[in-house]
Amino acid sequence: MVKCRCGPAYSGVPEHLPVIGSGENRYPAKVIQQTLNKPGGTAHSGVPFWDAFLFTRRRNQSMKRMLSGIKPTGQLHLGNYIGALSKFVSYQDEYEMIAFIANLHCITVPQDPAELQKNLQDCVALYLACGLDPKKSTIFLQTDVKEHAQLGYIMCCHTYMGELNRMTQFKDKQAHGEKNLSGGLYTYPSLMAADILIYDPDYVPVGEDQKQHVELTRDIAIRMNNRYGRLFKIPEPLVPKVGARIMSLTDPSKKMSKSDETNKGCIYLLDDLKTARKKIMGAKTDSLGIIKYDPENQPGVANLMQILSSLSDNRPMAEIEAEFAGKGYGDFKRAVADKVCEELEMIQGRYNEIIASGMIEDVLNEGAAKARALAAPKLETVQRAIGMEIISK
C-alpha cells in the first residue's frame, strides 16, 4: 500500500462525478480525493479507489467523534478560548473533531450585517490561530451545510413546548421582561440538537451552563429512536474540570461575556496587550490579601487562579497557592497578566498571518464538503424513517 502524504494526487477518483456511492455511502468525489491524499490517507496499489476510500474511512472511524460549535455574535474572548478553543486543539489528536461556526444561531437576535460578517471571519481565523488544524479537524460554517436547518425543523417537530419553556436563555429573557423575543430564540435548542445529532458524535464539549442543551438533545434522540428505530447515537456532554467557566473580571459572580457593559470584565482575544494587562490589574479581588482557591469566599481570586491554571497546562491550584504564599495581590495579578499577554501575543501573531494569507475560504469550502458527506446521508435516513421520502436516491 502507498501512503499518500505528498506529491501528485491519487488519480483513481473520477472527479467528473459530483457524488459517488448511494444511501449512507454517498460522498462527494472531492471528499474521496481529499481523504485518500491527506496525511494518513491510504491508497492500495492496484485496488479500486472506492475500496481504498472505504478502508481509510473505516480506520478513521475507530476514533471517537467529538463535535462543538461557537456562536460568534461578538468578538471571541478569553473565556471562549479557555473553555472551548484550547480544548478543541488538544482533542483533535485524540478524537475525530468537528468544529463549526454556528451562524444560524447568531440571528436569533438582530445583528448588524457588516459586524456579523466580520465576527464570522475573525472566528474562523481565531479557530486556526488557536491551533485547530483543518487537516485534523472539520471546520465549516453552519449555513454551508443546509442539512442542519432541515433536520432542525424535524427536531422542532419532535420537541415539546414544555421542554423549550424550561430552556434557560429564553426563560431568563422572558423573566427580565424583554419584549419582541423571536421564534428563533425560542426554538433554537431544537436546531442545536440537529447540529449535534446529524453527525452522530460520541462527545460534545460544553461549559457547565450549556449541559442543559446536550441533555435536551439526548432526550430528543432517545424519543425519536424509540419511535422510529435507532436513528441517532446518544452523545455525552464533556465538561472540563478546570477552566470550564471563566468569570467576569469585574463581577466574578457572572460569566465572562462579550455583553459586559463596562468592557472591563472581558478580555478579547484581539485586545491589544496593554488593554488586556490593564483589565487584569483592575480585576476585582477582596480584602483578605490571601491567594487561595476558594470560589465561594474569594471568587475574584479563584477566577484569576483558574485563568492562570488553565493557561499553564492545568497547573494544580495548590502549586499556585504555594508560589504566592505571603505575596500580595499586585504580584499575583502581574503574573496572571504576564501569562495572558504571552498567550494573546502568540494568538494574534498567527491571526494576522492567517488573515493575510487568504486561506479562510479554502478551509471553509473543504470543511463544508467533508461535513455534507456526513450530514446528507443522515438526513436522508431520518426522513425515510419518518415517512417523508418517496423517491429512492
Segment 242-261, tens digit of pLDDT: 556 899 999 999 989 877 77
Tell me, yes or no, whether 42 lies in a domain. yes
User: Residue 200 above 90 pLDDT?
Assistant: yes
| Burial of 114 from C-beta contacts in 10 A (0-12 / 13-18 / 19+) | exposed
In-domain check, residue 328: yes
Query: Do 344 and 368 belong to one domain?
Result: no
Question: In this predicted structure, what is the pLDDT of residue 245?
Answer: 80
Q: Are residues 8 and 105 in the same domain?
A: no
Backbone Cα Rg of the chain: 23
Model confidence band, residue 87 (pLDDT cutoffs 50, 70, 90) = confident
Kindly report whether the global pTM for this prediction surpasses the value 0.85.
no
Closest CA to 35 of 80, 11, 4: 4
Mean pLDDT, the chain, rounded, equals 86
- Let me know if residue 46 belongs to a domain: yes
With respect to residue 238, please indicate whether it lies within any of the assigned structural domains: yes
Question: Is residue 188 one of the residues assigned to a domain?
Answer: yes
Give the length of the chain.
393
CB atoms within 10 A of CB 276: 21
For residues 365 and 349, membership in a common domain is answered with no
> What pLDDT sits at residue 11?
53
Domain count for the chain: 3
> 254 lies in a domain?
no
Same domain, 196 and 75: yes
Question: Average pLDDT for residues 81-90, to the nearest whole number?
Answer: 84
Query: pLDDT category, 333, cuts 50, 70, 90?
Result: very high
Same domain, 207 and 152: yes
99 with 165, same domain: the answer is yes
Q: Which residues are catalytic?
A: 173, 255, 258
Q: What is the pLDDT of residues 248-306, one digit of tens each?
A: 999 999 989 877 777 899 999 999 999 999 999 999 999 999 999 999 999 999 999 99
The tens digit of pLDDT for each residue in 22-54 reads: 555 666 666 666 666 654 444 444 445 555 565
Domain coverage including residue 316: 273-355
> Following DSSP, what letter does each residue of 170-221 receive, concatenated?
HHHHHHTT--S--HHHHHHHHHHHHHHHTT--SEEE--GGGHHHHHHHHHHH
pLDDT tens-digit map of 179-196:
888 999 999 999 999 999
